[in-house]
């Protein structure tokens, strides 16, 4: 999806996508002085780590602050399963001296009913009246409510939570370097997970994940750092050259979107939010000697 964002967002942000060695995954740039023979940090996560609509996302800000090389392994829609199944990416992560692992979405893990496809946030029905159909996660949960009923939704939620924890523990088991978990969200960790609507079931990013799940992967050696943002996300998107508002979400490709929001980012953390997350991580690193050994001397 990195190249997908590069095309859609090309008028306002240049993600300077690059490729490392034999890895076929398009990586978020700028192409830093990342060298597997030297010390570097890895940042693992989804679109928030990638930094959609942000020229300097929190991985770059944190690394620059400590003068560290880093590699941004943020992939849109990715979940723990995605990384756990990619030996090339695990090799890059395990070559780093410190891994920052974002808390990724509950809707990016597969269940017996809904299977994730690729890394793009698409789900495929594996059973029932919509067997074989593929749709975006929110649409899939809407369909689930309408066609499968509340009992099936409750089972789906339980499956997601259980599989999310299992997938994270599997991924964490494959990461052999010190790891810090990173929370980036516009909601509190706890939320009212009601079955009234698909939106309420999923909640805001990282959908379906609550303190109970976080407790299964958090530990003294694997702390959780990061920030919950207050208020709505409304970032006006400006053309890089003219600095005028630019329509990124056109009618042809984003039909259902309100017209007022076509030149706005209303979902992904804004540059200010990235600076806040970076500040929290930097302060944490400064206050925790345990992780200081991963910083340059």
Question: Which residues in the 175-204 window bind another protein by CB under 8 A?
Answer: none
Residue 250 touches another protein, criterion: CB under 8 A:
no
Residue 168 touches another protein, criterion: CB under 8 A:
no
Q: How many residues does the chain have?
A: 297
| Shortest distance, position 88 Cβ to another protein, whole Å | 13
Nearer of residues 145 and 247 to another protein, judged by Cβ: 247
Nearer of residues 1 and 294 to another protein, judged by Cβ: 1
For the chain, the C-alpha Rg in angstroms (whole number) is 19
State phi, psi for 123 to the nearest 5 degrees: -125, 145
Residue 251 touches another protein, criterion: CB under 8 A:
no
Judged by CB under 8 A, the stretch of 8-16, 85-93, 135-143, 152-160 that binds another protein is 8-16
Give the CA angle between residues 255, 125, 45 to the nearest 5°. Answer: 70
| Shortest distance, position 59 Cβ to another protein, whole Å | 14
CA nearest 73: which of 97, 53, 102? 102
| Shortest distance, position 241 Cβ to another protein, whole Å | 5
Nearer of residues 34 and 148 to another protein, judged by Cβ: 34
As a whole number of angstroms, the distance between CA 143 and CA 160 comes to: 17
Among residues 67, 173, 231, 241, the one that binds another protein under rule CB under 8 A: 241
Nearer of residues 146 and 240 to another protein, judged by Cβ: 240
| Shortest distance, position 2 Cβ to another protein, whole Å | 8
Residues paired with 115 in a beta bridge? 124
Q: Strands, DSSP E only, in the chain?
A: 40-45, 69-74, 98-102, 114-117, 122-125, 134-136, 179-185, 224-228, 235-236, 264-265
CA nearest 210: which of 154, 164, 152? 164
Residue 34 touches another protein, criterion: CB under 8 A:
yes
State phi, psi for 173 to the nearest 5 degrees: -65, -25
Nearer of residues 223 and 245 to another protein, judged by Cβ: 245
Tokens of 283: 């302060």
DSSP 119: T
Residue 32 touches another protein, criterion: CB under 8 A:
yes
| Shortest distance, position 15 Cβ to another protein, whole Å | 8
Judged by CB under 8 A, the stretch of 6-14, 95-103, 230-238, 287-295 that binds another protein is 6-14
Nearer of residues 13 and 98 to another protein, judged by Cβ: 13
Q: Check if the beta carbon of residue 210 is closer than 8 Å to that of residue 183.
A: no
State phi, psi for 133 to the nearest 5 degrees: -75, 145
Tokens of 272: 């200010």
Name the site residues for another protein (rule: CB under 8 A). Answer: 3, 6-8, 10-11, 14-21, 26, 29-35, 240-242
């Amino acid at each position: 999806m990195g190249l997908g964002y590069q095309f859609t967002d090309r008028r306002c942000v240049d993600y300077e996508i690059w490729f490392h060695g034999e890895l076929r995954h398009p990586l978020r740039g700028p192409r830093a002085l990342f060298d597997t023979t030297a010390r570097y940090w890895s940042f693992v996560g989804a679109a928030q780590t990638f930094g959609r609509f942000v020229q300097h996302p929190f991985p770059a800000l944190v690394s620059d602050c400590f003068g560290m090389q880093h590699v941004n392994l943020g992939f849109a829609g990715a979940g723990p399963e995605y990384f756990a199944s990619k030996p090339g990416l695990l090799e890059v992560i395990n070559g780093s001296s410190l891994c920052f692992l974002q808390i990724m979405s509950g809707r990016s893990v597969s269940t017996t009913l809904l299977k994730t496809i690729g890394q793009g946030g698409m789900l495929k029905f594996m059973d029932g009246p919509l067997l074989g159909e593929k749709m975006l996660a929110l649409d899939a949960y809407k369909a689930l409510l309408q066609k499968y009923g509340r009992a099936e939704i409750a089972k789906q939620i339980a499956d997601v939570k259980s599989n999310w924890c299992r997938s994270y523990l599997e991924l964490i088991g494959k990461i052999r370097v010190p790891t810090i978990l990173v929370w980036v969200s516009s909601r509190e960790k706890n939320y009212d997970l009601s079955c009234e609507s698909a939106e309420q079931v999923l909640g805001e990013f990282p959908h379906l994940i609550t303190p109970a799940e976080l407790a299964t992967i958090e530990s003294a050696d694997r702390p959780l750092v990061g920030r919950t943002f207050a208020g709505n996300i409304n970032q006006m998107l400006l053309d890089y050259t003219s600095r005028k508002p630019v329509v990124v979400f056109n009618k042809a490709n984003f039909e259902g979107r309100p017209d007022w929001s076509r030149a706005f980012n209303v979902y992904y953390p804004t540059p200010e939010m990235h600076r806040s997350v970076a500040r929290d991580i930097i302060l944490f690193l400064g206050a925790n000697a345990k992780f200081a050994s991963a910083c340059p001397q």
